[in-house]
A and B are shown apart, each in its own frame.
Chain A
């Protein structure tokens, strides 16, 4: 199993551009998540999904959109990129039933907006 994969690894965007960060998991996990991590900080939840077709906002959803059409894929869309979106983005997944939230992370995407 590859686990959680993310593409691209690195990206530089100009202000106002848009892009999609890709995330795929092959563990048949039902829950998927997007976090961002700013330097020296913890992880902030952007959006999460509890199954195909179901998404919900996290702590910092503004400026982002998500969709989940399949169990495996959970892309994150950035519209009108701003310097404040410069960060490292991590996708994660879990098989959650009840209170079990053991999340497994992808390698991350380092995004710079200039």
Chain B
């Protein structure tokens, strides 16, 4: 089992729809969770961070965290073609002892005009 797991996709949604991206992680003691967006050929760009159970909203993006289920998700409302990218989930896995993030392999999102 991967320590940070994401469906590779592609996830295809029509323009204006809600895109839902999911991520599970292996370490129940983890406390820091992040979503990055990566356009093809570019570097990852931080979108959201979340540390507490529940929802956190920033514009069209909502991050959701459920530590009991070891699950974090990203919702993108009113999806635009410019949202087409790979979305990376990242977690600080406490059991590794590393003061750094472990990344999932990413979910490719395609927003159809």
Contact = CB atoms under 8 A, between A and B. Distances in A.
- The answer to whether A binds B is yes
Interface residues of B, number: 24
B32 A105 contact: no
Interface string A28-49: 0001010100001111110010
Interface of A: 31, 33, 35, 40-45, 48, 50, 56, 58-59, 90, 96, 99-108
Contact of B46 (A35, A99, A102): A102
Contacts, number: 62
Contacts of A96: 99
A103 B92 CA distance: 11
Contacts of B4: 42
Interface in B58-113: 88, 90, 92, 98-106
Nearest to A44: B103
A107 B45 CA distance: 10
Contact of B43 (A31, A40, A107): A107
Contacts of A103: 34, 46, 90, 101
